[in-house]
Chains A and B, each alone.
Chain A
Amino acid sequence: MNWTYWLPLLVVLTSLVPGVIIFALPEGRVVTRTVLNLTGAVLKIALVWLMMREVYAERNPEFRMPLVQDVDLLLRADALALLFVSLSAFLWLLTTIYAIAYLERSPNRGRFFGFFSICVSATVGIGLAGNLLTFVFFYELLTLSTYPLVVHRGTEASLQAGRVYLRYTIAGGALLLTGAVWLQAAVGPVLFDGGDTLARADLDAAPLVAIFVLLVAGLGVKAALVPLHSWLPVAMVAPAPVSALLHAVAVVKAGAFGIVRVVYDVYGIRLTDAIGVAGPLAVLASITILYGSVQALRQTDLKKRLAYSTVSQVSYITLGVTILGASATIGGIVHLVHQGLMKITLFFCAGNIAETLQVHRIDELDGMGARMPWTMAAFTIAAFGMMGVPPMAGFVTKWYLGLGALEASQPWVIGVLVGSTLLNAAYFLPILHRAWFRRPVTPFPVRRGRLETHWALLMPPLVTAAAALFAGLFASAPPSPLEWARLIAERAYE
């Protein structure tokens, strides 16, 4: 047995084991906890890097353990999995650093970091899942481990948000489970194999469509597809690092990633096309894109506006995979990474502003650029990226989506992209204008210390903003997300 056999399992364990130990630690052991968290995060990145080399050489590491009957618990690293997992590993490290500073001196940190680690393990498990049962397994685990993070503050509002969150996600999990069991009963174990299992099974179109609807509805809850999105803005009561993780890495992304898996690896492109489900899903994604942007425009609370912006942006991924063409695929898949980098930057910045100056509303942001220049600079880069201004990451996404739409002769998608870009600009530019070009109504409290806020709150958004910038600037350089996405698309369409 090769040592790489254990790699996928180890990547999951590097956050699971610290999480379990953290639960057992007394609340006061801050240093031990921090060391555990950071060691796990750094180790995970190192292991992901090792896996990346294996996958690039087309030796996909694979770990399996018999679970039941003819189905294994299968963790397998392929190119798509690694795109998602490396994003999670990288952002987990930064979010951990951010959260340690953000939650300094607040109660129940042991519980928080324990669930935080479990949540990341579940996300990585979703990324590496090699069959449908394993995917469901970790998908449900993600629901369970994020609930305590959403209700972390324990106030009536957060408990209420938790109830809404559970109603949506548990119902969504049940739909996904139904679809998964049905598919399994019909064709046996469902591997993520580009649709070979289903192609061989030769089922009727009607059950295939029904199962597709069940699976996508279950995943759409987490991916915040309209009309299943209402939990997301409510869940904004969670602490900023949780929102950052939920929106950029874990929950929303897991849903979108699941849809990518269902289209490419369960059904396969040919079958998805043949049963005619791609078109309606693309329309639904377009509606979500526009609706989310319109709602974002109407919000006065900064985090709420960002939340609706997530609703909109995540559906670019769904749109990209449902246009069904190599270029659109590249655009959709690369947006998994781009949206993650940009959105986490925005949430880090919003958290900094709220934590340092207790500013939550957009009309209180006047003159923020002078008070917190670095934070607002990072915010600005990410916001321009979201709008799709060249040469930012978001532009690369929109370029490939548009190209794909034209290749697949679906020019209406261009209209959606233009409309969404205009709306993006309409809700981001006023924020930037207020921050950079207006004077504060009431002067901000005087800055203490050399930096505008705690260094550990400032560093993560700067790093992610830089990453978002470079992902766009050097999109064609070999280790960029775009090149990975191109690799994935090539392997999917060969």
Chain B
Amino acid sequence: MARRERTRPVPADAPWIVWTVVLPLLAAPVAFVLGRRGLAPFAAASSLGVAASVAALAWQVAAQGVQRHRLGGWGAPLGIELHADGLSVLMLVMTAVTGVVVSLHAHGTFGLGGHETREPSGRARFWPLWLFLWGGLNAVFLSADLFNLFVSLELVTLSAVALVALAATRVAVAAALQYLLAAMLGSLLYLLGVALVYATEGTLSLDELARGAPHASVAPPALALLTIGLALKTALFPLHFWLPPAHANAPTPVSALLSGLVVKASFYVLWRLWFQAFPGVAPFEASMLLAVLGTGAIVWGSVQALQATRLKSLVAYSTVAQLGYLFLVFPLVGGPGGLAAWQACAVFAVSHAFAKAAFFMAAGNIRLAAGHDRIADLDGIGARLPRSFFAVGLASVALMGLPPSGTFVAKWMMMRAALESGQAWLMVVMLLGGLFSAGYCFRVLARAFTPPTDTPLQPVPGSLDAAALALAVIALATGLFVAPALDLLAIGAPDVAGLGQDGPR
């Protein structure tokens, strides 16, 4: 498998790739033991620290190409090896941007004895869990072998489940438990797949798997197990049952992190496995199956969102629908225009993360102000909560896949690839999905224009509004920055469809 080797030894003085993982993982236990007084500044400092190390790594990758680091000098197959290419960096940036803004929101939600978790300990528990989650996410995006991916994914899942349970309501705890069981089952299937791979191939490194010819008899069933496990964790229809209750009932900042980032982590692993570690192993019919299930997700999630009575469950079902788009790309990557489809998928994931996190934060703000989030009863408060509704509006534009959002550009690329590879039905699905999402988004937006009533509203702290609006603006503007993102993605990109590795142009 031809691959552009732009790797250079990492300068000893700047192992940013390590810091992006180690910093949040070190900060988490400190946040756990820290007293309530020092927590806020510490949390702010560590969030910014992680973001800064991500920025440094991004710069490093952009300037020097793919970065690798062997922890303690032990490489594959024994030690832990970190590996950062363009795709990893894009995911890290997505996590960092969303993470910093959601941290601001969380500071307001948990810091002011907010409505979500009235008990004072909610804040003390949030920060260590969130920092663990962040470290886990970064580790997923940088791991270079199947076992490290497993460990990182477990870290992500466990902290995510605990974060859902922070809401401390009966519904939330039940949802968290269901989430835990589903995710554990997913892990189990994944681990079986890993065992199968190790038994036959003798290695778990993604690179070595890609280089060696995989065993024809074992690779397909192993990949099938890995895929089912990861699809369960990504909530691919019909394995999505656990997602809506968990995402809708978690505290608002947690909902934002879960819907925006956590589901992307398991999808990312699936993505790497299909197109990097096991290229060409899965038959075309399998990728078609994933696309069909993605279509099911779009239809089913949208129909549920159209019928949802609560704002937060509408947003959660929208996540089920939007994740479907990511799976539509599988049959496209092998065909003509496959590289564009592969890139579009990454752009879509990033753009959706921003939009969805912004939407959840805004929905949480509306709920905080009104004391409920029943959509039918939201009349008359739009004019009094202009910033939150504005954030909903801007995030909706991205969810509908309209310009100038990144999802518009991503859909444009996917549709074009669908036509170029003669799979026009996928384009029809994407268009229908866009119409569906317009349907459910405008259910909420239309309420914003009703004349103001004098229902009493709780005050919403300015930082909550600012966080939702800031991320919504970022989501909206992503479409204008797709070109640099594609340049970044070209660094170390897999040779999809044999189109050559020289990037977009």
Contact = CB atoms under 8 A, between A and B. Distances in A.
B412 A181 contact: yes
Interface in B231-282: none
B415 A108 contact: no
Q: Taking each of A65, A69, A155, A173, which has the highest tally of chain B beta carbons within 10 Å of its own beta carbon? A: A69
B317 interface: no
Interface string B389-403: 010000001000011
Given A65-B480, A140-B408, A141-B404, A178 B449 contact: no
A162 B413 contact: no
Given A69-B340, A185-B420, A163 B446 contact: yes
Contacts of B449: 148, 151-152, 154, 158-159, 162
Interface string A98-136: 000000000110010000000000000000000001001
A75 to B, nearest CB: 13
B482 A23 contact: no
Interface in B379-433: 383, 386, 390, 397, 402-404, 408-409, 412-413, 415-416, 419-420, 427, 431
Interface footprint category on A: 35 or more
A226 to B, nearest CB: 23
Contact of B409 (A67, A177, A178, A182): A67
A23 B390 contact: yes
Contacts of A295: none
Contacts of A162: 446, 449
A445 interface: no
Interface stretch (B23-31, B91-99, B434-442): B434-442
B427 A178 contact: yes
A107 B383 contact: yes
Nearest to A143: B402
Contact of A68 (B383, B386, B482): B482
B416 to A, nearest CB: 5
Q: Which applies to chain B's interface (DSSP): helix, strand, loop or mixed? A: helix
Interface in B480-495: 480, 482-483, 486
A202 interface: no
Given A136-B403, A154-B449, A66 B442 contact: no
A182 B419 contact: yes
A166 B442 CA distance: 9
Nearest to B386: A111
Interface residues of chain A: helix, strand, loop or mixed (majority)? helix
B390 A68 contact: no
Contacts of A185: 337, 415-416, 419-420
Contacts of B402: 140-141, 143-144, 173
A430 to B, nearest CB: 36
Contact of B446 (A136, A151, A170): A151
Interface string A137-161: 1101101100010011011001100
Nearest to B389: A111
A141 B397 CA distance: 9
B446 A159 contact: yes
Interface in B206-246: none
Contacts of A182: 419
Contacts of A158: 449
Nearest to A133: B412
Nearest to A166: B442
B481 to A, nearest CB: 10
B337 to A, nearest CB: 8
A186 B336 CA distance: 12
Contacts of B403: 136-138, 140-141
B7 interface: no
Interface string A379-403: 0000000000000000000000000
A68 B412 contact: yes
A137 B404 contact: yes
A313 B442 CA distance: 32
A184 interface: yes
A68 B450 CA distance: 38
B504 interface: yes
B8 interface: no
Interface string A164-194: 0010001101100110011011100000000
Given A65-B480, A155-B451, A177 B431 contact: yes
B340 A170 contact: no
B334 to A, nearest CB: 17
Contacts of B408: 137, 140
Contacts of B451: 107, 154-155
Contacts of A141: 402-404
B344 to A, nearest CB: 9
Given A111-B386, A151-B446, A69 B504 contact: yes
B37 interface: no
B505 interface: yes
A494 interface: no
A439 to B, nearest CB: 39
Contacts of A159: 446, 449-450
A177 B409 CA distance: 12
A199 B438 CA distance: 36
A58 interface: no
A204 interface: no
Given A108-B383, A111-B386, A181 B446 contact: no
B112 to A, nearest CB: 24
B435 A171 contact: yes
A140 B479 CA distance: 14
Nearest to A174: B431
Contacts of B483: 65-68
18 contacts: A65-B483, A66-B483, A67-B409, A67-B480, A68-B412, A68-B482, A69-B505, A107-B452, A111-B386, A138-B403, A152-B449, A177-B412, A181-B416, A181-B427, A184-B416, A185-B419, A185-B420, A186-B419
Nearest 3 pairs of A and B residues by beta carbon: A185-B419, A66-B483, A137-B403
Given A108-B383, A158-B449, 18 more contacts: A67-B479, A67-B482, A67-B483, A73-B480, A107-B383, A133-B412, A137-B404, A138-B403, A140-B403, A148-B449, A151-B446, A162-B446, A174-B431, A174-B435, A182-B419, A185-B337, A185-B415, A185-B419
